[in-house]
Amino acid sequence: MTKLNQIIAVEKGVKSKSFADLTQAHHDVQKTALLAGISRTYQPKDEEGDQFPPESTRVQVKAEDVLRSTATTLTRLFDVTATKDWANCTAKADVVVDGDVIVEGAPVSYLLFLEKQLVDLHTFVKKLPVLDASEAWSRDESTDSWRTEPTRTIRTRKVMRNHVKAEATEKHPAQVEVYTEDVAVGYWTTVKFSGALPAKRVNDLLERVEKLQQAVKYAREEANGAEVSDRRVGGKVFGYLFG
Protein backbone atom coordinates (compact mmCIF):
# COMPACT_ATOMS: atom_id res chain seq x y z
CA MET A 1 0.00 0.00 0.00
CA THR A 2 1.20 3.53 -0.77
CA LYS A 3 2.69 5.58 2.08
CA LEU A 4 2.34 9.33 2.61
CA ASN A 5 6.08 9.99 2.16
CA GLN A 6 5.93 8.27 -1.24
CA ILE A 7 3.09 10.56 -2.32
CA ILE A 8 5.05 13.60 -1.10
CA ALA A 9 8.09 12.39 -3.04
CA VAL A 10 6.24 12.22 -6.38
CA GLU A 11 4.06 15.30 -5.88
CA LYS A 12 6.75 17.79 -6.93
CA GLY A 13 7.41 15.95 -10.20
CA VAL A 14 3.71 15.67 -10.98
CA LYS A 15 3.27 19.40 -10.33
CA SER A 16 6.16 20.31 -12.62
CA LYS A 17 4.89 18.10 -15.45
CA SER A 18 1.32 19.38 -15.10
CA PHE A 19 2.49 22.99 -15.21
CA ALA A 20 4.64 22.34 -18.29
CA ASP A 21 1.85 20.48 -20.09
CA LEU A 22 -0.76 23.11 -19.28
CA THR A 23 1.58 25.88 -20.45
CA GLN A 24 2.20 24.04 -23.72
CA ALA A 25 -1.51 23.43 -24.23
CA HIS A 26 -2.22 27.12 -23.65
CA HIS A 27 0.38 28.09 -26.25
CA ASP A 28 -0.92 25.52 -28.78
CA VAL A 29 -4.50 26.75 -28.75
CA GLN A 30 -3.30 30.35 -29.19
CA LYS A 31 -1.65 29.50 -32.51
CA THR A 32 -4.54 29.92 -34.92
CA ALA A 33 -2.48 28.64 -37.84
CA LEU A 34 -2.20 25.21 -36.19
CA LEU A 35 -5.96 25.06 -35.69
CA ALA A 36 -6.78 25.91 -39.31
CA GLY A 37 -6.91 23.56 -42.31
CA ILE A 38 -7.81 23.94 -45.96
CA SER A 39 -8.46 21.83 -49.02
CA ARG A 40 -8.96 23.31 -52.47
CA THR A 41 -8.87 22.09 -56.07
CA TYR A 42 -8.76 24.00 -59.33
CA GLN A 43 -10.90 23.40 -62.42
CA PRO A 44 -10.34 25.44 -65.60
CA LYS A 45 -13.30 26.75 -67.57
CA ASP A 46 -12.30 24.76 -70.63
CA GLU A 47 -9.83 22.08 -71.55
CA GLU A 48 -7.28 24.60 -72.77
CA GLY A 49 -7.14 26.41 -69.43
CA ASP A 50 -4.29 26.18 -66.94
CA GLN A 51 -4.12 23.18 -64.69
CA PHE A 52 -3.14 23.51 -60.94
CA PRO A 53 -2.57 20.71 -58.48
CA PRO A 54 -4.89 20.53 -55.48
CA GLU A 55 -3.77 22.30 -52.28
CA SER A 56 -4.40 21.21 -48.71
CA THR A 57 -3.29 21.99 -45.18
CA ARG A 58 -4.21 19.65 -42.38
CA VAL A 59 -5.43 20.79 -38.97
CA GLN A 60 -2.48 20.21 -36.61
CA VAL A 61 -4.10 21.09 -33.28
CA LYS A 62 -7.63 20.18 -32.28
CA ALA A 63 -8.99 21.99 -29.25
CA GLU A 64 -10.95 18.95 -28.08
CA ASP A 65 -7.75 16.86 -28.16
CA VAL A 66 -5.98 19.55 -26.13
CA LEU A 67 -8.82 19.50 -23.59
CA ARG A 68 -8.58 15.71 -23.26
CA SER A 69 -4.79 15.69 -22.81
CA THR A 70 -5.01 18.59 -20.35
CA ALA A 71 -7.67 16.77 -18.36
CA THR A 72 -5.50 13.64 -18.26
CA THR A 73 -2.45 15.54 -17.02
CA LEU A 74 -4.32 17.57 -14.41
CA THR A 75 -6.35 14.58 -13.22
CA ARG A 76 -3.09 13.00 -12.08
CA LEU A 77 -2.13 16.18 -10.22
CA PHE A 78 -5.56 16.52 -8.62
CA ASP A 79 -5.50 12.87 -7.50
CA VAL A 80 -1.98 13.01 -6.03
CA THR A 81 -2.70 16.26 -4.18
CA ALA A 82 -6.02 14.94 -2.89
CA THR A 83 -4.37 11.74 -1.68
CA LYS A 84 -1.72 13.78 0.19
CA ASP A 85 -4.16 16.28 1.71
CA TRP A 86 -6.65 13.63 2.83
CA ALA A 87 -3.81 11.63 4.33
CA ASN A 88 -2.53 14.72 6.16
CA CYS A 89 -5.87 14.89 7.94
CA THR A 90 -5.27 11.50 9.54
CA ALA A 91 -1.45 11.12 9.59
CA LYS A 92 -0.37 11.95 13.13
CA ALA A 93 2.47 11.13 15.52
CA ASP A 94 3.56 11.87 19.09
CA VAL A 95 6.57 14.10 19.78
CA VAL A 96 8.55 12.18 22.42
CA VAL A 97 11.65 13.41 24.29
CA ASP A 98 13.43 11.06 26.72
CA GLY A 99 10.30 8.93 27.00
CA ASP A 100 7.98 11.85 27.75
CA VAL A 101 5.24 12.79 25.27
CA ILE A 102 5.60 16.53 24.67
CA VAL A 103 2.96 16.82 21.92
CA GLU A 104 0.39 14.08 21.50
CA GLY A 105 -1.08 13.15 18.12
CA ALA A 106 0.41 16.03 16.15
CA PRO A 107 -0.65 16.22 12.48
CA VAL A 108 2.02 16.66 9.80
CA SER A 109 1.14 20.32 9.17
CA TYR A 110 1.70 21.13 12.85
CA LEU A 111 4.96 19.17 12.93
CA LEU A 112 6.21 21.25 10.00
CA PHE A 113 5.20 24.39 11.90
CA LEU A 114 7.09 23.17 14.97
CA GLU A 115 10.22 22.48 12.94
CA LYS A 116 10.32 26.03 11.60
CA GLN A 117 9.63 27.59 15.00
CA LEU A 118 12.35 25.54 16.68
CA VAL A 119 14.92 26.74 14.14
CA ASP A 120 14.10 30.32 15.15
CA LEU A 121 14.13 29.42 18.86
CA HIS A 122 17.53 27.77 18.51
CA THR A 123 18.93 30.99 17.06
CA PHE A 124 17.28 33.00 19.85
CA VAL A 125 18.64 30.82 22.68
CA LYS A 126 22.12 30.71 21.16
CA LYS A 127 22.27 34.53 21.31
CA LEU A 128 21.20 34.83 24.95
CA PRO A 129 23.58 36.96 27.10
CA VAL A 130 26.01 34.97 29.26
CA LEU A 131 27.59 36.06 32.56
CA ASP A 132 31.20 37.25 32.32
CA ALA A 133 33.33 34.20 33.07
CA SER A 134 36.08 36.36 34.60
CA GLU A 135 33.82 37.19 37.58
CA ALA A 136 32.48 35.00 40.39
CA TRP A 137 28.70 35.33 40.42
CA SER A 138 26.10 34.38 43.00
CA ARG A 139 22.32 34.68 43.04
CA ASP A 140 20.93 37.82 44.69
CA GLU A 141 17.32 37.17 45.69
CA SER A 142 16.64 40.80 46.64
CA THR A 143 17.22 42.04 43.08
CA ASP A 144 16.34 38.77 41.31
CA SER A 145 19.63 38.94 39.44
CA TRP A 146 23.26 37.87 39.73
CA ARG A 147 25.91 39.70 41.77
CA THR A 148 29.62 39.60 42.50
CA GLU A 149 31.35 39.82 45.86
CA PRO A 150 32.23 43.40 46.92
CA THR A 151 35.62 44.66 45.76
CA ARG A 152 37.42 47.61 47.38
CA THR A 153 39.46 50.12 45.40
CA ILE A 154 41.26 53.26 46.52
CA ARG A 155 40.23 56.69 45.32
CA THR A 156 43.19 59.03 44.96
CA ARG A 157 43.71 62.72 44.26
CA LYS A 158 46.73 64.39 42.77
CA VAL A 159 48.41 66.84 45.18
CA MET A 160 51.10 69.33 44.13
CA ARG A 161 54.38 68.95 46.04
CA ASN A 162 57.59 70.97 46.09
CA HIS A 163 61.04 69.48 46.31
CA VAL A 164 63.86 71.87 47.19
CA LYS A 165 66.88 70.76 45.23
CA ALA A 166 69.07 73.63 46.46
CA GLU A 167 68.55 76.10 49.26
CA ALA A 168 68.58 79.79 48.46
CA THR A 169 71.83 81.72 48.91
CA GLU A 170 72.73 85.41 48.81
CA LYS A 171 73.55 85.05 45.13
CA HIS A 172 71.08 82.41 43.94
CA PRO A 173 67.39 81.71 44.61
CA ALA A 174 66.38 78.30 45.82
CA GLN A 175 66.05 75.56 43.21
CA VAL A 176 62.62 74.00 43.63
CA GLU A 177 61.13 71.10 41.61
CA VAL A 178 57.32 70.91 41.46
CA TYR A 179 55.73 67.44 41.17
CA THR A 180 52.39 65.72 41.79
CA GLU A 181 51.69 62.93 44.23
CA ASP A 182 48.68 60.59 44.34
CA VAL A 183 47.20 60.76 47.79
CA ALA A 184 44.50 58.35 49.01
CA VAL A 185 41.32 60.24 49.83
CA GLY A 186 38.77 57.39 50.10
CA TYR A 187 37.69 53.92 49.09
CA TRP A 188 35.20 52.58 46.50
CA THR A 189 33.33 49.38 47.36
CA THR A 190 31.88 47.91 44.16
CA VAL A 191 29.31 45.16 43.63
CA LYS A 192 28.44 44.25 40.04
CA PHE A 193 24.96 43.06 39.08
CA SER A 194 23.85 41.29 35.90
CA GLY A 195 20.65 40.05 34.33
CA ALA A 196 22.54 37.67 32.01
CA LEU A 197 22.51 33.87 32.33
CA PRO A 198 25.14 31.39 33.46
CA ALA A 199 26.77 29.59 30.53
CA LYS A 200 25.49 26.24 31.86
CA ARG A 201 21.91 27.50 31.78
CA VAL A 202 22.25 28.59 28.14
CA ASN A 203 23.90 25.28 27.19
CA ASP A 204 21.08 23.34 28.91
CA LEU A 205 18.47 25.36 27.02
CA LEU A 206 20.24 24.72 23.72
CA GLU A 207 20.34 21.01 24.47
CA ARG A 208 16.61 20.99 25.15
CA VAL A 209 15.81 22.81 21.91
CA GLU A 210 18.01 20.42 19.92
CA LYS A 211 16.43 17.36 21.56
CA LEU A 212 12.96 18.65 20.72
CA GLN A 213 14.05 19.41 17.14
CA GLN A 214 15.21 15.82 16.75
CA ALA A 215 12.01 14.48 18.29
CA VAL A 216 9.85 16.56 15.92
CA LYS A 217 11.80 15.24 12.91
CA TYR A 218 11.30 11.66 14.09
CA ALA A 219 7.59 12.33 14.59
CA ARG A 220 7.25 13.84 11.12
CA GLU A 221 8.96 10.81 9.56
CA GLU A 222 6.65 8.52 11.50
CA ALA A 223 3.56 10.46 10.42
CA ASN A 224 4.74 10.54 6.81
CA GLY A 225 5.15 6.78 6.92
CA ALA A 226 1.41 6.31 7.41
CA GLU A 227 -0.39 4.29 4.76
CA VAL A 228 -2.71 6.27 2.52
CA SER A 229 -5.75 5.53 0.42
CA ASP A 230 -5.58 6.74 -3.16
CA ARG A 231 -8.11 9.46 -3.88
CA ARG A 232 -9.73 9.70 -7.31
CA VAL A 233 -11.29 13.14 -7.58
CA GLY A 234 -9.72 14.51 -10.78
CA GLY A 235 -11.87 12.38 -13.08
CA LYS A 236 -15.12 13.80 -11.73
CA VAL A 237 -13.75 17.35 -11.68
CA PHE A 238 -12.72 17.28 -15.34
CA GLY A 239 -15.71 15.18 -16.33
CA TYR A 240 -17.77 18.14 -15.18
CA LEU A 241 -15.45 20.88 -16.53
CA PHE A 242 -14.68 19.50 -19.97
CA GLY A 243 -17.45 16.90 -20.38
Q: Do residues 5 and 87 both lie within one domain?
A: yes
Count up the domains in the chain and report the number. 2
Q: Do residues 87 and 154 both lie within one domain?
A: no
Q: Do residues 86 and 8 both lie within one domain?
A: yes
Last residue of a domain, one of 48, 64, 91: 91
- Model pLDDT, residue 148: 95
Spatial distance between the Cα atoms of 98 and 232, rounded to a whole number of angstroms: 41
- Residue 231: inside a domain: no
- Residue 66: inside a domain: yes
Last residue of a domain, one of 56, 72, 91: 91
Last residue of a domain, one of 91, 110, 137: 91
Spatial distance between the Cα atoms of 148 and 191, rounded to a whole number of angstroms: 6
Write down the H helix ranges in 32-97.
Answer: 32-35, 63-90
Condensed to tens digits (0 to 9), the pLDDT of residues 96-149 reads: 999 999 999 999 989 999 999 999 999 999 999 999 999 999 999 999 999 999
- Indicate the average pLDDT of the chain: 90
pTM over 0.75: no
- Residue 123: inside a domain: no
- Model pLDDT, residue 144: 94
- Model pLDDT, residue 170: 76
- Residue 37: inside a domain: yes
Residue 60 CB neighbours (<10 A): 12
- Residue 41: inside a domain: yes
Q: Do residues 84 and 158 both lie within one domain?
A: no
Spatial distance between the Cα atoms of 217 and 206, rounded to a whole number of angstroms: 17
Q: Do residues 4 and 81 both lie within one domain?
A: yes
- pLDDT at residue 1 greater than cutoff 80: no
- Residue 26: inside a domain: yes
Residue 143 CB neighbours (<10 A): 10
Supply the range of the domain harboring residue 2: 1-91
Question: Alpha carbon 1 to chain centroid distance?
Answer: 32
Condensed to tens digits (0 to 9), the pLDDT of residues 18-56 reads: 999 999 998 888 888 888 888 988 888 888 788 889 888
- Residue 87: inside a domain: yes
- Residue 155: inside a domain: yes
Reported as a pLDDT band with limits 50, 70 and 90, residue 62 is confident
Radius of gyration (Cα) for the chain, nearest Å? 43
Condensed to tens digits (0 to 9), the pLDDT of residues 63-93 reads: 888 899 999 999 999 999 999 999 888 899 9
- pLDDT at residue 167 greater than cutoff 90: no
